[in-house]
Structure 1
Amino acid sequence: MADALKIGVAGLGTVGASLVRIIHERQESLAVSCGRAIEITAVSARNRDKDRGTDLSGTTWFDDPVEMAKSGDIEVLVELIGGADGAAREAVEAALARGVHVVTANKALLAESGVALAAAAEEKGLLLNFEAAVAGGIPVIKAMRESLTGNTISRVYGIMNGTCNYILTRMEKEGLSFEDCLQEAQRLGYAEADPTFDIEGNDTAHKLAIMTALAFGCEISCDDIYLEGISNITQEDIRAAAELGYRIKLLGVAQRTEGGIEQRVHPTMVPHDTVIAQVDGVTNAVAIESDILGDLLMVGPGAGGDATASAVLGDVADIAKSRPGIQTVAALGRPAKSLTPYKKARMRSHEGGYFIRLRVVDRIGVIAAIARRMADNQISLESIVQHSANGGGEAPTKTIIMVTHATTELSVRNAVSAMESDGYIVGKPQVIRIEKP
């Protein structure tokens, strides 16, 4: 049997501690399946005294992960620190410069610097593996860069953030407000104290940018993603969606169009009877549409210590099985130098169905005015529903809910803007795209 593969783990949070524990518990079976043992020889974290529930004796401790990456004690750096810059990036760059393979779960780093890091790895024949960076334990990266070789992918989309999916699920099933569900997600540890990165779609955007590069052979472009979060979703939207046969999910969608590549993250209505609509709680789901295989949907845990550690360990095992000095798989599915420049499609040319909810003053002529504005923008309606007027001391209002046939983003925005200028809309209109898998 070959010599043990020596790895250094940078970051001993939930995922790092789970990884160390699993490797210790399964040393014998890993050695058999990989053809060599996997040995943790070094670790790095900020607090040496914290109890992580696993034995770290016999490993070299580094306070600085960059120094660990530069040391001669490891053959693989496992980066679990997080963040696009700082110690995480410096440690990965140092490891690649020294000829050390890298495994990372850091979506922010890859979204920001993935192409440059892939090029650095290729130059030295190293592996840069990042299965855990997207959709936790779901093996979507391996599927896209290895199993689907030869397929032409037309669209990739999915639920990629467990926090948002948990909030939307509880809003629907328990009738809670967005604010109450967010507080509960924070209490359970699903959401950070500052949840902005999750609920406004940034986390999903980072993951989508990585998958877009793999799907379409283009450079990573996280800054060109149309972004909407879920903080403006109300119980009124949830109930209306259910009445119309839909559920609301935060989706990341990337697809090839004649005008370029369209990347978007936003709340989406999906038909209730589709598989992706049934994905609840913190679970993730990724769908890939290709010409040879057809449609592929993968569902599984999108976060959590063991699920993410499982994906990290799979990447480490691939390195253990590889031939020394030979890069078997390009990090982004093809050599970095052959990635095409990203060409952004205009978001407002996006075509599909839309849900539009308006609160309007209850007076004669309003419905006719709405119909006129829709007709002016060549928008055909699939359905229109009026909810009864309010009571109380305010001027009476009613809610108008419309579902359009396929139309463009530009047409919908122009129509809504014109309605607002007419002066009968109360509050902010709600516009949600409809995606039909």
Structure 2
Amino acid sequence: MKPLRVALLGCGVVGTEVVRLLREQADDLAARVGVPLELAGVAVRRPDRVRAGVDRALLTTDARALVTRDDVDIVIEVIGGIEPARTLMLEAMKSGKSVISANKALLAEDGATLFAAAREYGTDLYYEASVAGAIPLLRPLRESLVGDHVQRVLGIVNGTTNYILDQMDAHGAGFNEALEGAQALGYAEADPTADVEGFDAAAKAAILAQLAFHTPVTAADVHREGITEVSPADVAGAKEMDCVVKLLAICERVPEAGGRNGRGVSVRVYPAMIPRTHPLASVREAYNAVFVEAESAGSLMFYGAGAGGAPTASAVLGDLVAVARNLARGTPGPVEVTYARLPVLPMGETITRYYVQLDVADRSGVLATVAEEFARNGVSIQAVRQEGLSEDAQLVVVTHRAPDAALSATVQGLRRLDIVREVASVMRVEGEE
């Protein structure tokens, strides 16, 4: 049968691995698809750069011409960013090409436009590699669980921050020291802002929420907090509670009162304490793990390498086989539907728990005054611990679940009390429901 021809946009770490796998596994891929796969061309910005194992005759700087060529059937986009990736992907689909992408930023910002183009032109758009690297996560949400009612997605989706927090917990490292270690190992970029400030995780959370709840969600809808303010005191406080600090992406359907249907969805990224008995607590170094909770399937956990050239290329090749099979059969795969169109609820309406550590004056009535501030905002206290004497007195309060707005107002009120010298640590607590 006639081979299916593949155009590759970008040939960095991931793109080079894709080329290698296409070459080394050519026979196996042909057997799995039913037709041979051939690399038609590779669009790059600097064709003179040496790329091991890549035929220089395939390189071109004219990406638009490549994606609209009549002899190209599938386009793989691994250049990242918003433009020119969006324009090139739209041009490819308009030309009848199916598209595979690892571009989380674009899918989180303007996935709706890409999905609409796929529907309009009858092409495939697959993007397993955009979230959690090699972990097969999006396809189960997109296909395996499409007949179920997903209630919650909770996970660690950024390996850089997980490595940093793991080093702070396991070895007592400070944030800056752990970040330098991550950079030395290649886990963090020279400019780590996208990772440590939570932008990367927020983009992935938007993609997960859109698939899980069939509703439009963009990165701008996601409440985002990074880990740059996580201190050794926060990590030590977590240990005292037999917890560990993780940067979590949380997407959940918020039901109507007394009903099953969603009132809205909550999508957020922030560092939180989770019990060491929780499976996510044991996710170490730069690994990722995601829990999916569904009405009928129950709790499912996906774990593995969340980044890197080879793992990401593995996810790209998985999508390539799926798309190629669809083309060989003449039938496109599933297209995203956002029929639910649930509103994304503001963070203030999210129900959470807090851990609050206060440096207080050691005099009578302190505990009663602090408890009164919690009660004034309608926040119930689960546990209180007081330590030290005189100038070193500390009060640790753990709350029951309450609206985040009420908890935030409580913390602001505590900062205004003359008996509170400092609100030393504030962190949400997850994973104990």
Question: Shorter-chain-normalised TM-score: which range?
Answer: over 0.9
User: Structure 2 residue aligned with 1:117, among 100, 114, 117?
Assistant: 114
Q: Is the 2:358–2:396 contact (alpha carbons within 8 Å) kept by the matching residues of 1?
A: yes
1:393 corresponds in structure 2 to none
Given the superposition, is the C-alpha separation of residues 70 and 426 from structure 1 closer, same or farther in structure 2, using an over 3 Å criterion? Answer: farther
User: Structure 2 residue aligned with 1:321, among 304, 321, 325?
Assistant: 325
Q: CA deviation at 1:416?
A: 1.4
2:372 corresponds in structure 1 to 372
Q: CA deviation at 1:429?
A: 4.6
2:277 corresponds in structure 1 to 273
For the residue of structure 1 that corresponds to 2:307, the secondary structure is coil
Q: Deviations over 1:13-60 (max 9, x none)?
A: 11111111111111111111111111111001122233332132552x
Which 5+ residue runs of structure 1 have no aligned equivalent?
391-395
For the residue of structure 1 that corresponds to 2:393, the secondary structure is strand
Q: Deviations over 1:348-383 (max 9, x none)?
A: 222232211223344443333212212223333222
Q: Is the 2:384–2:398 contact (alpha carbons within 8 Å) kept by the matching residues of 1?
A: yes
Between stretches 149-158 and 350-359, larger displacement belongs to: 350-359
Amino acid at match of 2:393: K
For the residue of structure 1 that corresponds to 2:360, the secondary structure is strand
CA distance in 1, matches of 2:420, 2:225: 22
Q: Is the 1:416–1:429 contact (alpha carbons within 8 Å) kept by the matching residues of 2?
A: no
1:290 corresponds in structure 2 to 294
Q: CA deviation at 1:316?
A: 0.5
Between stretches 373-382 and 214-223, larger displacement belongs to: 373-382
Q: Is the 1:221–1:342 contact (alpha carbons within 8 Å) kept by the matching residues of 2?
A: no
Q: CA deviation at 1:389?
A: 5.5
For the residue of structure 1 that corresponds to 2:267, the secondary structure is strand
Q: Is the aligned partner of 1:190 residue 2:187? A: yes
CA distance in 2, matches of 1:99, 1:151: 32
1:63 corresponds in structure 2 to 61
For the residue of structure 2 that corresponds to 1:322, the secondary structure is helix
2:353 corresponds in structure 1 to 353
1:261 corresponds in structure 2 to 265
Alignment of 1:8-407 (within 5 A): 8-59=7-58, 61-84=59-82, 86-257=83-254, 258=256, 259-323=263-327, 325-330=330-335, 332=336, 334=337, 339-388=339-388, 396-407=391-402
Q: CA deviation at 1:298?
A: 0.4
TM-score normalized with structure 1 length: 0.93
2:418 corresponds in structure 1 to 423
Q: Deviations over 1:166-187 (max 9, x none)?
A: 0000011110000111111122
Give the root-mean-square deviation of aligned CA atoms.
1.7
Amino acid at match of 2:103: N
CA distance in 2, matches of 1:220, 1:409: 21
Q: Is the 1:219–1:341 contact (alpha carbons within 8 Å) kept by the matching residues of 2?
A: yes
Amino acid at match of 2:349: S
TM-score normalized with structure 2 length: 0.93
Q: CA deviation at 1:428?
A: 4.9
Between stretches 412-421 and 206-215, larger displacement belongs to: 412-421
For the residue of structure 2 that corresponds to 1:36, the secondary structure is coil
State percent identity of aligned pairs: 36
Q: Is the 1:185–1:191 contact (alpha carbons within 8 Å) kept by the matching residues of 2?
A: yes
Q: Deviations over 1:386-434 (max 9, x none)?
A: 34358xxxxx243322211222212211221111111333445532221
CA distance in 2, matches of 1:73, 1:386: 72
